[in-house]
Structure 1
Amino acid sequence: MKPLDPRLLRHARAARSYIALTVVLGTVVAALVVAQALLLAHALAAAVHDGATLAEIGPQVVWIAAVVAVRALVAGVQERFAHRAATRVIGDLRAQLVERSALLGPRWTVEGDGSRVVTLATRGIDALEPYFVRYLPQLVLAATVTPATLVVILGLDWVSAAIVAGTIPLVPLFMVLVGRLTQGRSERGLRVMQRLGSQVLDLLAGLATLRAFGRELGPVARVRELGDAHRRATMGTLRVAFLSGMVLELLTTLSVALVAVGIGLRLVYGELDLVTGLAVLVLAPEVYLPLRQVGAQFHASTDGVAAAEQVFAVLETPLPARGTRPAPDLRTASLRLRGVGVRAPGRDVLAPAGLDLDVRPGRVVALTGPSGSGKTTAVDVLLGLVRPDHGTVELVAPDGTATALADVDPTTFWAQLTWLPQRPLLEPGTLADVVTGGADVTPGRRDAAAALTGLDAVVAAAPLGWATPVGRGGDGLSVGQRQRAALTRALLGTAPLVVLDEPTAHLDAAGEQVVLDAVAALREAGRTVVLVAHRASLVAVADEVVAVRPAELPAGLSPGAGPSAARPEVVA
């Protein structure tokens, strides 16, 4: 990323006001630096050369103290607003990253390494804070204080100004040389951290299965190896940062020494007055200080800059085209899938393959098949979250008019359906808010739905009843209780189409009966239900059962060529 990437100002509005404030404060600091140097030079010259007493230079000392106090105040204001701006910018970018990933769809998340995006949205983007708090202010000071002090030195002593102007370019030159090496190390460190995060997330997701087979300790060596690799990459970056800091300190110290030697010699031979010499000596380190700080803070910001580059890459990924036609009323319209096939990410397999499916109003349709056959993917296609590689998905009105789902405005389509995934995520709030979704539902209707799903027992056991707080994602409730709460919400909703993805996966026999009763209630209400089912009892309540099957792509066949896959069976 550039020292000040325009994409940062475009995607994070909070950065704009912060940059403006930083420029103003940098200008103030430049004026204070010059004033402090001139006041100090006059006070010291009067005391050393003219023998002035403390009382005689007292006003100048007071002014020097005032300038120092104002500089400290400006630094404090800068620090305070830097932290605020960093928090707001990181929050804005994180929200945009999550929203963009959701809009790109589950297919992109899987193929684009969703765990990498998770790591980026959490720990990765947090590393952007040093860029705002440390690096960016020093960059502004380098653009204001350094030129201002150099101009003042030029007005005081052109010889010293020539020495400073000749040595200043060496500082950014070394910064660029060392920065390129550090940036590469930081990017490698971020990639290692993302791989480590992916491994840990995969391990946590499959921990139950690993424990069932007694293999929960198998990935330990791989996770430890990735952790050591991340540690080595981080320590390598710090090593380069320390070495580059030493190089910059040595370079600027030698440059100031050259100025000091020239001033000393000319003072001895009477070619320069003491006030001018002292002013130049005080100003010379101030010329190099912002540049030194930029070089020192650059290494603290490289991790955040590398993360920001990846965030911008996601934010600038084109979104799939969205339809504009309003969706027909799903209380009377049907969903029709013909020859639908979706290529499984990373495999030469279509899952599902050649899927034919009709979802008619008021009917209960069950999708069955072995694990990996593409049942959940078929649901994603049905919901409009994934576009198939083969086949068509259409909404058919009662008069027979068919509209491709890709041409329909998704907001008008999603407003007419309720989706219950395998692990429902619930919004934070009270238990009553969770099941009603903020809708105006009478207590009697709410209690009747809770009694049907078994949530009434959960409410009765909770100390606060319906006022029991529920955390983000359903925190505070067990998996089974979350499933009951989500089923209750589905019953209380009015969406004509309800999609249940393996609703009995985490429930016992009693919970299974709850789902069967809920499906029966939905059918009686005239609502359409699509089930992804494994258990025979759940399949038995369906009006229509569709067996979903995968198919391998023939060798050398492109995804768009269309394999000769077996059609799924449809059992009336």
Structure 2
Amino acid sequence: MKPLDPRLLRYARTTRLFLAASVVLGAATAGLIIAQATLLAGMLTRAFLGGATLTGLRTPLLLLLAVVLGRTLVAWLQEVTAHRSSAAVKSQLRGRLLARSLRLGPRWLSGERSGELATLATRGIDALDDYFSRYLPQLVLAVIVPLAVGARILLGDWLSAVTIAATLPLIPVFAILVGLTTQRKMDRQWRTLSILAAHFLDVVAGLPTLKIFGRARTQAARIREITDRHRRATMSTLRIAFLSALVLELLSTLSVALVAVSIGLRLVEGGLGLETALLVLILAPEAYLPLRQVGAQYHASVEGLTAASRIFEVLETPAPATGTRSDVPDLARSTLRLEEVTVAYPGRDAPALDTFSLTVHPGETVALTGPSGAGKSTVLSVLLGFVQPDSGRVLVDWDDLGSFDPDAWRARIAWVPQRPYLFAGSVASNIRLGRPDASDTEVRAAAEAANALSFIEALPSGLDTPLGDRGTGLSAGQRQRIALARAFLRDAPLLLLDEPTSNLDGESEAEVIEAVARLKAGRTVVLVAHRPALTALADRTIAVANAEVTA
């Protein structure tokens, strides 16, 4: 793995400012280290050879105190800069990851593990803290400090400088060898963590089904097995980290010992002055310390880099081309045409749609019927712009749908899916998704038109009643009517309905059908239906079977 992934500079520009600040602070650190060593060597020489007292050493002591305070201030500035930069970079990456996922669309998301994406956006990006707060600043110091310290030692004792120059490269060489092994271990650990997160999310979502069929204990055992694999992978990585720290410490200790032995022999023979000898002995460990710390901090940052690599894979996934036109025609007066549209999903032997053609006239209600898997929902996905045809075209009058900006196109559409998603929030906020700037009066009127107001008023706080994730606390029919209220509030000329009465009891079905009959008035409607009561609302019924359409 590269010490600095260039994609961080491309996707998170804050990194550049952080690196510039790290270079400035690293140079200040190097200067303060040399100043501290020079003051210490001079004071010790004057005290032992010149007999200087504390009074005579007052000025260098005050300067030494100032240098120590300066190093403390620089270290604090490095921490503050690192944490602020890390927070900015994480925010940018999260925003880009979300934006890219939205741009790639539901078709791409259907092939991804939602648990892995959630882990990437949370734990994965948070793991970059160690990379920015520890690894990158130490990497800058590992370049600047040894060069500055080596140059100062060279001016005082060239033989010690040569010894340091000869032994210093051994540390990064061994660090790279250990790092390669660590990277392989961390890749395995991250894969295990992603599997654990995805599996745990699936188990939680399907817990009622597992309980009914008596498989909850089996899945709990499976989670324990994956967790144990993750534990073993983590401990294996930590073991290598501790061993690498031992290797790097041993190398630097032996290298400093070589310098110290050489200085000691020449000091005894009188070939080297005490002040120079002390200066070199104080500075020599400082030349090796940043490189040793780089090796140690690398292990703390590997998880973040591994997650970042996966994030960059998502960010670099080619997104489908989209149009830019915002002049969408009036859909209340436009004819929709699907001309020999073919859509094939990865991993499926047969296409979902094969040369499918359909014409929907303004103000017409068309019902698509047929067995599951025939491609009815795919037709709606194509009209929504979620799926682009592999061949064929979709026309709005005589304009290609692909030439319009997706947001401008969807602003003219109201969509009621088979299983509407309700978010954690109030009933009113969920209805207001249809039009965020709607007033309370308009929200209430939409709920009434969708036959939802009666049960909403029976809730503890009416429209202000908070709902759990996925509309916890409401029945399927109630959730469906809230979705219809969104469509009423949106008041769009094109209405797409995907089996709005599936899995509903007779009473709820009647309420929904009455609301749909009211909603479709004056609009162009394409609906997917299985039940006769819903198809009765249509002007035309299109039977879809095995990707062949019969009117």
User: TM-score, length-normalised on structure 1?
Assistant: 0.88
Aligned match of 2:413: 417
Deviation at 1:298, TM superposition (A): 0.6
Distance 1:259 1:191, change over 3 A: same
Give a deviation string over 1:179-205, Cα, whole Å, max 9, x none.
Answer: 111112212222222223333334344
CA drift of 1:125 comes to: 2.6
Structure 1 residue 430, shift from structure 2 partner: 5.7
For these two proteins, the number of residue pairs brought into alignment is 549
Residue 168 of structure 1 deviates from its aligned partner by 0.6
TM-score using structure 2 length = 0.91
- For residues 443 and 370 of structure 1, the distance between their equivalents in structure 2, rounded to whole angstroms, comes to 41
The answer as to whether partners of 1:428 and 1:472 remain within 8 angstroms in 2 is: yes
Residue aligned with 1:376, SS:
helix
1:10-50 deviations in Å (ceiling 9; x for gaps): 11122222222212111111111111111111122222222
Tell me the secondary structure at the aligned position of residue 32 of structure 2.
helix
Contact 2:449 2:488 in 1 (8 A): no
State the match for 1:538 in structure 2: 534
**Structure 1 residue 283: Cα displacement:** 0.8
**Maintained 8 Å contact 1:455/1:484:** yes
* 1:568 and 2:546 aligned: no
Tell me which moved more, 114-123 or 293-302: 114-123
- Equivalent in the alignment of 1:446: 443
Which residue is 1:547 aligned to?
543
The alpha-carbon deviation at position 324 of structure 1 amounts to 4.0
CA distance in 2, matches of 1:467, 1:433: 8
Partners of 1:440 and 1:303 in 2: CA distance: 42
Residue 460 in structure 1 maps to residue 457 in structure 2: yes
Deviation larger for 32-41 or 181-190: 181-190
Q: How do 1:420-499 residues align onto structure 2 when only pairs under 5 Å count? A: 420-425=416-421, 431-437=427-433, 441=438, 443-457=440-454, 459-461=456-458, 465-467=462-464, 482-499=479-496
- Deviation, 1:516, is 1.6
Q: Please list the CA deviations of residues 397-433 of structure 1 after superposition, one character each: whole Å capped at 9, or x if unmatched.
A: 2xxxx23323333233222112233444467776545
Instruction: Give structure 2 stretches of 5+ with no counterpart.
Output: none
Q: Deviations over 1:263-296 (max 9, x none)?
A: 1111111111111111111111111111111000
For the Cα contact (< 8 Å) 1:131–1:304, is it kept in 2?
yes
Question: C-alpha root-mean-square deviation of aligned residues, in Å?
Answer: 2.8
Task: For 1:290 and 1:527, locate their aligned partners in 2 and report how far apart those are by CA, in whole Å.
Answer: 70
Distance across 2 between alignment mates of 1:442 and 1:311: 39
Cα offsets for 1:82-125 (capped at 9, x unmatched) = 22221221121122112112212222233455554343223223
Go from structure 1 to structure 2 and tell me whether the alpha carbon gap of 1:64 and 1:534 turns closer, same or farther (over 3 Å shift).
farther
Read off the aligned partner of 1:246 and give its amino acid letter. L
SS of residue matched to 1:185: helix
Deviates more, 1:115-124 or 1:310-319: 115-124
Partner Cα separation in structure 1 for residue 266 and residue 473 of structure 2: 78
1:561 corresponding residue in structure 2: none
Report deviation, 1:478: 7.2
* Distance in 2 (alpha carbons) for counterparts of 1:542 and 1:505: 17
Whole-Å Cα distance in 2 between the matches of residues 423 and 71 of structure 1? 60
Using a 3 Å threshold, how does the CA distance of structure 1 residues 445 and 375 change in structure 2: closer, same or farther?
same
- Kindly report which structure 2 residues correspond to 1:371-382, keeping only aligned pairs within 5 A, or say none: 371-382=372-383
Match of 1:329 in 2: 330
Q: What SS class does the counterpart of residue 331 from structure 1 fall into?
A: helix
Are 2:412 and 2:493, in contact at CA under 8 Å, matched by a contact in 1? yes
Letter in 2 for 1:533: A
What secondary structure does 2:549 align onto?
coil
Q: Which moved more, 1:248-257 or 1:79-88?
A: 79-88
Matching residue of 1:502: 499
* Residues 543, 210 of structure 1: alpha-carbon distance in 2 compared, 3 angstrom cutoff: farther
Question: 1:235 Cα shift?
Answer: 1.7
Aligned to 1:188: 188
What letter is aligned with 2:287? V
Aligned to 2:400: 404
> How does 1:356-367 map onto structure 2 within 5 Å?
356-367=357-368
The alpha-carbon deviation at position 139 of structure 1 amounts to 0.4
Partner of 1:86: 86
CA distance in 2, matches of 1:352, 1:239: 54
Amino acid at match of 1:331: A
Task: Name the amino acid aligned to 2:375.
Answer: G
Give deviations 1:303-327, integer Å, cap 9, x for gaps.
1112212222221222222234543
Q: Give 1:354 deviation, angstroms.
A: 4.8
